[in-house]
Structures are given as C-alpha cells and as structure tokens.
Structure 1
Amino acid sequence: MITSRKSINKKLVPLVISFIFGFRMLGLFMIIPVLALQDDIYSNFNPFSLGIALGAYGFTQGILQIPFGIMSDKFGRKRLIYLGLVLFTIGSIVAATAVSMEQLILGRAIQGSGAISGTLLALLADTTGERNRSSAMALVGMFIGIAFLLGMTLGPLITEFYGMKRIFELTASLGIISILLVGAVIDEPKSITKNLELDIELTSIKSLVFDTKLSHLYLSIFMLHLSLMSFFLILPVMLTEDLEHSQQMLPIIYLLLIGGGFLFMLPAMIFYEKRGMQRPLFLASTISFAAIMFLIPYLSSYGLIITAIFIYFSVFNLLEALLPSLASKLSPAGKRGSVLSIFSTSQFFGTFCGGLFGGYFLQNFGTEMLMSILGCLGLLWFLLSLRFQNIDSFVTVVLDVRSKKNKDLLKIISKKDGIEDILFTNNNAIAYVKFSRSKLDKKIFDDLTYLGDFDG
C-alpha cells in the first residue's frame, strides 16, 4: 500500500504544482484590474503609492527568486515551498487587514517574498522523467494562463459584490489550500536531480546576462510587464470614468478584451511559429505596442479606444506566450535553467518598475505624459528589435556517453551541420546535445532521439 500511495502521489505532483502556480498567480492577478479604483478605502492613496502597491510583489519576487532556488538545493524543496507559501499567506492577511497604502504595500511585498517559482520547477524536474517533462511544463503554463484570464474577470466581480479586501482573504485561503496540498501529495525527493536545463548555474549567470540574443529577450519581457503595470494604473479609471462603464460591467469587458485578444493572436502565433517566421510577428507586435501607447490618450471615439485596448491585449498575450518559448530555444545546451531564471527576474523587475515609475509619472505629469513615455519606450524597443532574427526549432537531448555506442555517435555528430551546441557534465559522462530539427541529417536525428532523453 505504501508503494502504491507513493506511485499515485508521484503522478499527481505535476498537477499539484500547476495548481499551486495557478492559485498564487490568481491571487496576484485579481488585484491588478481593481486597485486603481480603491481610493476611498486606503489612507495616503495617490498614483505613486498605487504604483508601488501594484509593483511591490515584483520587487521581492525578483530579488529572492535565485536565493530560494539555491536554498532549496541545500535544505530541500518541500521546506522551501512551505516557507514560500506561508509568506504568501501572511502577506495576503496583512494586505486584507490594511487600512493605509503603507500597510498594503507591506502586505504585497511579503506576498512576493515567497518566491518559489524556480523551486517548484526544480521539484518538477526531480519528480518527472525527461520524456514527460515537456508536457508537465505545458500544464504549468496552461494553469498560469487560465489564472490570468480568471484573475482579470473575478477581481472586479468580487470587488463589486463583496469589496476588494475579500480578494486578499480569498488569496490567503488559496495559500492555505496550497500548503495542505503540498503536505498531502508531495514527498521530499530522496535526491536532488541535477538537471542543467532546469537548475540555476551561478557560474554562467554573467555571460548569459550579456549574451546579445538573450539580452534582447530579457529586455522584451521587462518592457512587456512594465507596460502592463503602468497601463493598469489608468485603464480601470479609463473604463469607468472616461468610457462611463459601471464597475458591474468590468468583468465582462475584461473577459471580452483579454479572452478575445488571446483567441485573436493564437492563429497568428501558430502560423508564424510553424514557418519559423518569428521576426515579422515580433516587429509587428512591438510597433503596434508603441502606436497604441502614443494614440490612446488622444482617441475620442468609444469604438477606437476599445479597439486599441483589444489590440494591446492581443499583443500582450502573443508576446507573453512567445518570449519564454524563444528564451528556451536560444538557451545554450544545459543552460536553460539559468536563462529562464534571469528571464523571470527581468519580468518581475519589469512589474516593479512599471508600478514605481508609472505611478511617479502619472502623479507628477498626468496620463498623457505617462502614455507618451511608454510610447517612446515602445518605439525604442521596436528599433532594438530590428536586429532580431528568425529562430530555428532546436531540441536538446541528454546522452549518456559512458557507453561505447553513444560515445561513437557523439564523435560522428560533433562536426555535423545542425549541431548547435554540446555541453559535457559529470566528468564527461553526460552530454547535453542541442541540435536543429531541420538542418540535422535524418538518420543522425533518429539515432539521437532514440539513444538520448529529451530534455525540458
């Protein structure tokens, strides 16, 4: 019976990790579309304090993401996940009882200090085989996407009927449920899986930060989330005051704009990705982003404003899905964990800077100046993106080269066209081989995929 229970638990781990990701992100997303409308319930409420409150969790997430990952290697995944969820729950309770913006900011910062995203992904690596890992990662991504859409619609709904503080109470409850799920399903791995495609390698961080191709993606995810936080400083007010929608209508409006934007961008992404034509898609997205930021303050027609907001969310959804995929594809063999760690940190700091600087410019210079600055940043982003090139479809395979057959195969392929990178680990016993699907000889491709394990 013990073996059977462990077997069942192991199968449930990817689902539980996905739920924990979804619960945490749902709690954070629900607050974004409604906080700008709560000027009557918090003392010292102003655009600047609003921006800090929105972005505070991004700051603590950004600075603690890597330390949590390192500590989980030393003290165990489960302990660090417990710690992160307890901090998340405490932060939610502090925010729920806040009566001033200072207390709310403190609660949001404590929420973000439970920076366990990397630790959860590392646990996923410990508990799933190489061949099942891609589907497990896709499940996590799906839950985060659902959490974003639900958060943007449930937040206004809960606020309208029960008040915004109920969102934080619900978030604390989700944190407690997550703690119970960890206790019921997740066992501490007997050994830490050293998987270079998901782990953080500190010695390679500096070179990866300044890598020309990757640094553009770090900048892009930073800009994307900076714009989101800054935009939501004014969007709720724009919808309720300028466009005269009642707050009861906000859930439907957000559902149509964000859900519709997702459905609108999906065919375009599939079409261009299949043909390896990410460059035109990327450039069209960034120039659309810049144009929308410049134009929105000067649009007077209801239809034009709604169309502009719809296009913004289409671009956001597209880039939110495309950028992590590109970062993964461009990662050197065995460095994906480090690359995605830097990528996530850039995203969180974008969230923080969007709230901080967006709030500052909104308070001191007004909506038009804030949107003009975002437009200028978008234009700069577009100009930098002109260097961006289409990316081939790469696969990384983990090859045990202690066997003669695998060692001979590695010698044959090392100088073949289509081999992008080879990294040796474990005293040259394991090789991470990154190669192009389209350029590699079919027989060698078949041999590699048969003898090796797909990674990530």
Structure 2
Amino acid sequence: MQIPFGMLSDRFGRKRMICIGLLIFAFGSVVAALSGSIYGVIAGRILQGAGAVGSVILALGADLTREEQRTKTMAVIGMTIGLSFALALVLGPLLNAVIGVSGIFWTTAVMALAGIAVLYRVTPQPNALQSHRDTGAVPAMFKRVLTDSQLLRLDFGIFALHAMLTASFIAVPVLLRDVVGVGENELWMVYLPVLAVSVMIMVPMIILAEAKRQMKAVFVGAVVTLGLSQLALLAWHTSLVELVVVLTLFFAAFNTMEASLPSLISKAAPAEAKGTAMGVYSSSQFFGIFVGGTIGGWAYGLGGPAGVFIFSAIVALLWFGVAVTMKPPRFTRTRMISVAVADSGEARALEAELLAQPGVVEAAVALDEGVAYIKVDSAQADEVDLDAFSRRPAQA
C-alpha cells in the first residue's frame, strides 16, 4: 500500500492520507489486542500493514522543506526509522513482561492516535502539494527503474537482507530461551549490548565505504559475513557467548547494509527517478519480510532452527552471486535546485548547461515542479557554479 497511498496523497492531501493510514493501523492494533486466536492476530496485523503511510510522510517532508535541505530531511527520517527498529527490539521484551502481548498492541494503537495529534497540532501545513520525483513514485518511471540491472541487484539485496533477518528471528529467541536459558523477559539484556557493539563496528565500515570509496568491497564483505554468521549459528549455538558473538557479527553486517543500500540506490537511480526507485526498493524490503517469515516458518517446521539457518545461508549465497557481479558505484549525490523555465526547449537547454559544469554527471529538469535534479561528484562539483542556476529567470 506504500505506493498507492503516496499517489492518493498527491490528490487528496498528505495529512488526510496519513491520518487515514494511522487510523487503519490503530484499528488493526485493536483487533489484534482483542483477539483470542492466532487468526485474529493475523487479521489485525494485515490491517496494521495496510496503513502504510511511510511514503506519504516522506512526501510531506519534501513539501515542507526547500530543495537544498531535502536530502538532510530524508536522512533524518531514515535515521529515525532505524532508531525505532533498534528501540523496539530492546523494549519489546520489557513491555511484554509488564503488559503482555495484548498490551503491546494497545500501546501501538495509542501511539498511532498520538501520531495523528502530532500531525494536526504540531506539524505545519504545506503551502502547496506537489509531486516530488526524489521522494514519490512516478508511474512513467516504473519501466525505467524495473529494467535497470543495477537497481534490481540492490532491490534483491534489501529483499534478501530482511528475509534473512525475519527468518533468523524465528529461531534465535527459541535458542536463547531453550538452549541457553535466557527468559523471554530477559532477551533485551542480550539484544542491547549486541546492537550497541554492532553499531560501533558498523561506523568505521561506513566510513571506509563512503569516505575511502570502497563501497563494493564493504558491500560484498558484509554479504559474506551475513552468510557465514548463519552457518556459525548452525554450528555454534550451545552457549550464550557463542550466540552473542555471532549475533554481534550478524548485526554489524546487517546495520552496514541497512545504511549502505539506500545510499547505493540514490547513486544508481536516475536523478529524476529516485523516488520511484526508492518505492520499488521499499516494496522489496517488505516482500523480503513476508518471504522470510513464511519460508522461515516452513523451514523451522521441517528442521527446527537448523532448517531456518540453512534457508538463510542459501539466501546469502544467492545474494553473493548477485552482489559480486555488481558494477562499482559512482560516488555521486543528488542535488536539487529551483529553476524557472517556460517550456521543454528551455528545460533541455538548461540540462545541457548543467551537464557542462565540472562534476555534473546527470541533469534532468522537471517542468511541473520547477526543479532541476542533478547528480554530482562531490569531489569535483563546484557548489557556487551550481547555485548560480537556482531560480534563473525564464528566457525571453
């Protein structure tokens, strides 16, 4: 529902669609909280998932920020999503100990309603709604995005990453409880230090990938680490120390990929199709969660934890084959500047001027937005020269 919600928000308004999505999510939470069977929980989770307004939130963020600040805004939203995942992993067992599973669902319902209050009482109203090619899906761009082999490799990457995560966490809590003796309400004591150390390992890896321009080497190395961690879980899971060490390596690689993949999508996507590429990427992520949970559960039924880890190792092996054939990425970033052009002829002329600037590798002018999307090599591009094109008056 991410892409449909985003498109509907262009017509009916960002806040209205975010509110509808949060109400659907809250209703699903109530259904799950009141349910006395697994089928009711499944129905509630389906409704929660249907309230998918992440893309609309990105579009609202774009409406409320200048083009020059939009990349920072999207980065902050992305960091918040990542932080929420880490907090949920740690707080989930704590909340379960105090209020139980139904209480967790009631809490998510309250949080959804609190989100609506923040939306209408705190969040500014945008002056105008506009389709943003850097944050939203454009139907005309789907064919271009879905036939790009480099983007498809990255889409498979996020699919595989979350399939492995979801499958693994069918088995890992069981091992911690039944083999090592960690109670369900004490799982946070394992997850918190594992996540903290994995982040400390991740940071230098990201610096090596971005600042030292070793993205492909770090990328392939992380895929190998993910696969080896699954094999390690298969062989070494009889003590808490073994599980903590392997899980730390798994999450160090996971966090590195979670941070690197959006950056790679941004580098690989055409400047004017970044939002569409991110929409397909996000859908691939959620599909990976679905497949990981479904096939991981089936594999657990067949072979217990070993079945899950074998499945995840196979996924990692397939991903390695896809990753190792990936072209080294160009180290570019997308810039947006406001421009004033009267027609397509002026737009094409401006694109040619922009492409002639040092470090500019791609330029596309969106007439309907009044924005030029530019891909630049930050080591070469002259920021002053590019800023000189902003708000240029139309040619007479």
Distance 1:367 1:200, change over 3 A: same
Structure 1 residue 243 displacement after superposition? 1.2
Q: Which residue of 1 aligns with 2:332?
A: 393
Find 1:216's aligned residue among 143, 153, 169: 153
Taking only aligned residues, the RMSD between alpha carbons, in angstroms, comes to: 2.4
Distance 1:238 1:450, change over 3 A: farther
Asked if the contact 1:78–1:186 (Cα under 8 Å) also holds between the matched residues in 2, the reply is: no
1:67-216 → structure 2 map (5 Å cutoff): 67-186=4-123, 188-216=125-153
Q: How many residues are paired up? A: 387
Write the letter of the residue equivalent to 2:335.
T
Cα distance in 2, alignment partners of residues 360 and 222 from structure 1: 18
Q: Which has the higher contact order (CA 8 A, sep 6+)?
A: 1
Asked if the contact 2:130–2:369 (Cα under 8 Å) also holds between the matched residues in 1, the reply is: no
Write the letter of the residue equivalent to 2:287.
F
Asked if the contact 1:293–1:372 (Cα under 8 Å) also holds between the matched residues in 2, the reply is: yes
Find 2:197's aligned residue among 260, 263, 282: 260
Deviations 1:282-305 (A, max 9, x none): 111001111111231221552333
Asked if the contact 1:328–1:336 (Cα under 8 Å) also holds between the matched residues in 2, the reply is: yes
Asked if the contact 1:362–1:369 (Cα under 8 Å) also holds between the matched residues in 2, the reply is: yes
Is 2:347 aligned against 1:402? no
Structure 1 residue 400 displacement after superposition? 1.7
Asked if the contact 1:422–1:433 (Cα under 8 Å) also holds between the matched residues in 2, the reply is: yes
Q: Which residue of 2 aligns with 1:374?
A: 312
Distance 1:185 1:287, change over 3 A: same
Asked if the contact 1:397–1:448 (Cα under 8 Å) also holds between the matched residues in 2, the reply is: no
Find 1:274's aligned residue among 211, 224, 230: 211
Structure 1 residue 259 displacement after superposition? 2.1
Q: Secondary structure at the match of 2:190?
A: helix
Asked if the contact 1:197–1:335 (Cα under 8 Å) also holds between the matched residues in 2, the reply is: yes
Gaps of 5+ in 1: 1-63
Structure 1 residue 133 displacement after superposition? 1.8
Structure 1 residue 448 displacement after superposition? 0.7
Distance 1:346 1:409, change over 3 A: closer
> Which range is displaced more, 86-95 or 131-140?
131-140
Is 2:294 aligned against 1:356? yes
Structure 1 residue 183 displacement after superposition? 2.1
Distance 1:397 1:364, change over 3 A: same
Deviations 1:306-363 (A, max 9, x none): 2111101111111111111111122211111111111111111111111111111211
Q: Which residue of 2 aligns with 1:384?
A: 322
Structure 2-normalised TM-score? 0.91
Structure 1 residue 271 displacement after superposition? 2.7
Is 2:358 aligned against 1:420? no
Q: Secondary structure at the match of 2:271?
A: coil
Cα distance in 1, alignment partners of residues 33 and 283 from structure 2: 27
Q: Secondary structure at the match of 1:397?
A: strand
Distance 1:273 1:414, change over 3 A: closer
Asked if the contact 1:297–1:371 (Cα under 8 Å) also holds between the matched residues in 2, the reply is: yes
Asked if the contact 2:266–2:334 (Cα under 8 Å) also holds between the matched residues in 1, the reply is: no
Q: Which residue of 2 aligns with 1:329?
A: 267
Cα distance in 2, alignment partners of residues 439 and 189 from structure 1: 35
Distance 1:79 1:298, change over 3 A: same
Distance 1:189 1:94, change over 3 A: same
> Which range is displaced more, 345-354 or 291-300?
291-300
Q: Which residue of 2 aligns with 1:436?
A: 377
Seq. identity, %: 30
Asked if the contact 2:354–2:363 (Cα under 8 Å) also holds between the matched residues in 1, the reply is: no
Q: Which residue of 2 aligns with 1:232?
A: 169
Cα distance in 1, alignment partners of residues 334 and 367 from structure 2: 21
Asked if the contact 1:400–1:406 (Cα under 8 Å) also holds between the matched residues in 2, the reply is: no
Structure 1 residue 407 displacement after superposition? 8.9
Write the letter of the residue equivalent to 1:393.
T
Write the letter of the residue equivalent to 1:380.
L
Cα distance in 2, alignment partners of residues 382 and 215 from structure 1: 14
Structure 1 residue 139 displacement after superposition? 2.1
Q: Which residue of 1 aligns with 2:278?
A: 340
Asked if the contact 1:221–1:323 (Cα under 8 Å) also holds between the matched residues in 2, the reply is: yes
